[in-house]
Structure 1
Amino acid sequence: MIPHGVEVDPSGLVYVADRENSRIQIFTSTGQYVSEWRGVHRPNEILHGSDGAMYVTELGMRQGTSPDADEVTVVTPHSGVKIMTKNGQWLGGWGADTHTSGDIVAAHAVGIDSEGSLYVGETLDGARLQKFVRV
């Protein structure tokens, strides 16, 4: 397991974004394994929203090499934000492989402000912070 993000929900369950195994693992506050979610593509961070939903940033799947180094790059069609229930059911989400406003490339971090706006930090070719206002 290579944890990249940890979130504790109001009931005390601990959600771990296990990026390199493409899963979210769930534990009790004492460390007992509860379950896991599959179907996420290299999750970096998970956040419990005040609306009860879980917001997961996905970096995307690895493929190819960088022209400047021997580093692995990311296939962006699987990058984005997934919105899920506390049971791991998919509610919605978005992501794309372009750099236009609103698309997400290499999602890495997520935050929600007091007004419910969602902030997504992107890395690699994205290298930006985007704000999505709740309507």
Structure 2
Amino acid sequence: MTTSQVLYVEDDPVNAMLMQGILELHPGCSLLVARSGAEARQRVTQERVDLLLCDLRLPDIGGDELLAQLRAAGLPEGVPALLVTAESEFVASQLARRHGFDGYWSKPLDVAATLRSLEHWLGKR
């Protein structure tokens, strides 16, 4: 079985650690973390990514603006992309739709709901 690679673009080490803990509950899944837009652009040129998770507030670029750059850098169109944000559900859904994301996850993350969503998005591959 091939391991699914999830790229999480997140500058907060605590949030990255929490996501790692959630993904450890999903067998066959590994987490790659990029702490900036620049690092994420580099990752998509060097690694296979099966799911992109992108925080909204990054040190060098807005997460909502980053997806187009990652697609241009080589992230395939078929790879699902989710915005991960503490914004309200309404704002998150508007931002996700406006910037080409397939969906969003709201912080704080609900572990069970996140695992179900993870299964859904990785199952679309």
TM-score w.r.t. length of structure 2: 0.31
Give the number of the structure whose alpha-carbon radius of gyration is greater.
1
Where is the helix percentage greater, Structure 1 or Structure 2?
Answer: 2
**TM-score using structure 1 length:** 0.30
Query: Which structure features the higher share of strand residues?
Result: 1
